[in-house]
Structure 1
Amino acid sequence: MAKIDLGQAPVREGSGYPAPFHEMAEGRTKWQLGDAGGLSDFGVNLVELPPDSWSSQRHWHEGEDEFVYVLAGELVLVTDEGETVLRSGDCAAFPKGVANAHHMVNRSDAPAIYLEVGTRLPQASPCHYPDVDLCYDPERGGYLSKDGMPYPKRVMA
């Protein structure tokens, strides 16, 4: 059956960033709907972002498209061009290879809920984080400082 039982979907809480970069996304919860539905070409996540949380560190991907659609609440999209408020029914797209770093911040007093859709590759592509000393390079082992030193793996609770 194609219907996905949200209660059976894999859930990820927080982020996989190394310390201290994980702290701003600690309250984020993602239901991995694409995984639950057996999708292989693209990922789909239902995300709940509590007040005062970030979706991620500001970033851009070399080889992965991203799309978000806000279902409830209010978010501030932060890009290289500045800030834009996103409310229920608003969406944003981030084409692969475009060096316009982005993330969303919940500055409201209520949770925000959005869908996030992205390219699913056999191996992740490099990702750039211009605001902090962080980059992601799967060929060099994952998260690195900008001078190429690997970060220690963070123990996930």
Structure 2
Amino acid sequence: MSTIDIEHAPTRFGTGYPAPYDQPCRARRRWQLGDAAGLTQFGVNLLRLPAGSWSSQRHWHETEDEFIYVLQGEVVLVTDAGEEVLRAGDCAGFAAGVADAHHLQNRGPQEAVILEVGTRNPAGDAAHYPDIDLDLPGGGGGYTHRDGRTY
């Protein structure tokens, strides 16, 4: 397949985070363009962040690279180093295994649109959320508390 009909691409609206960590991410909307194209080695998402919403909880991945490109609007990139405003045309990347937690916050009045590209790891990636009591162990078992208890 070469052309993707975005309106009919698979979607992931909201979040799978357990409460109360789901709150700031409930309004996010993702169109899974990589899935629509049948891509298996990397994922591509079109992310729409309404005003006041977050892309995710602040996290880092053990085995998956991530790249974002801001297409429209303005977001605040929050990393271990602090905060940086990203506007349309700005981009950032996050290498696998680097424990620099990150996420985007839309603090402005307008929707932001971001293109996300990332590694697909069929063996299962682990993600860590240093600001909250949340981990995602590798192997697809779902979210856990830091002490290993499941949600």
TM-score w.r.t. length of structure 2: 0.97
Q: What are the residue-to-residue correspondences of 1:1-157 with 2, within 5 Å?
A: 1-139=1-139, 141-151=141-151
Instruction: Give the % identical residues.
Output: 60
> Where in structure 2 are there 5+ consecutive unaligned residues?
none
**SS state of the match for residue 16, structure 1?**
coil
Once the two structures are superposed, what CA deviation does each residue of 1:25-67 show, in whole Å capped at 9, x if it has no partner? 0000000000000000000000000011010000000000000
Change (3 A) 1:39 1:83: same
Query: How large is the RMSD of aligned CA atoms in angstroms?
Result: 1.0
**SS state of the match for residue 143, structure 2?**
strand
Q: Count matched residues.
A: 151
Instruction: Give, in angstroms, the shift of residue 15 of structure 1.
Output: 1.0
| Contact 2:123–2:139, Cα closer than 8 Å, also in 1 | no
The 10-residue stretch of structure 1 (15-24 or 111-120) with the greater mean CA deviation from structure 2: 15-24
> Where in structure 1 are there 5+ consecutive unaligned residues?
152-157
CA distance in 2, matches of 1:142, 1:11: 20
Detail structure 1 runs of 4+ shifted over 3 Å in the superposition.
none
TM-score w.r.t. length of structure 1: 0.94
**SS state of the match for residue 144, structure 1?**
coil
Instruction: Give, in angstroms, the shift of residue 140 of structure 1.
Output: 7.5
Change (3 A) 1:145 1:88: same
Once the two structures are superposed, what CA deviation does each residue of 1:58-103 show, in whole Å capped at 9, x if it has no partner? 0000000000000000000000000000000000000000000000
CA distance in 1, matches of 2:123, 2:143: 14
| Contact 2:73–2:113, Cα closer than 8 Å, also in 1 | yes
One-letter identity of the residue aligned with 1:147: D
CA distance in 1, matches of 2:63, 2:24: 25
1:154 matched to which residue of 2? none
